[in-house]
Amino acid sequence: MTVPGYQDFMYPFLHMLRDGKEHRLNELYNDLAAYFNLTKEDISETLPSGKQTLLNNRVGWARTYLSKAGLIKVVRRAVFTITDEGLHVINNSM
C-alpha cells in the first residue's frame, strides 16, 4: 500500500483522540501507520525534497486542517486533544 492522502488521515486521526486524553504526535504517527497497515518502506518514503517522510507530511496536513476546523486543540507543541466539536463529529458519524 502507498501512503494515503492527507484527507484519508483526518477521520482516523480524530477517532484516535476520542478518549479526550492528550496524545503526542509521535504516537499518532505510529498508530496511523498501523491503522493503514503501512510497511516500513511506506513509512520511510520521503517527499521529493528528501527532507520529510510522506507519512509525516500527510499527517501534518490532516492535523492542520482538523485544528483549523476546531475539531482538535493543540495543548502544547506536538500534543493534541479532541474538542467538543470533534467529539460531536465522531459521535454523529457512527
In eight-state DSSP terms, residue 4 is P
In tens, the pLDDT along 51-70 reads: 999 999 999 999 999 999 99
What does the DSSP assignment read for 23-84?
EEHHHHHHHHHHHTT--HHHHH-B-TTSSSBHHHHHHHHHHHHHHHTTSEEEEETTEEEE-H
In tens, the pLDDT along 17-36 reads: 999 999 999 999 999 999 99
- Structural domains in the chain, CATH included, are 6-91 (1.10.10.10)
Q: pTM here?
A: 0.92
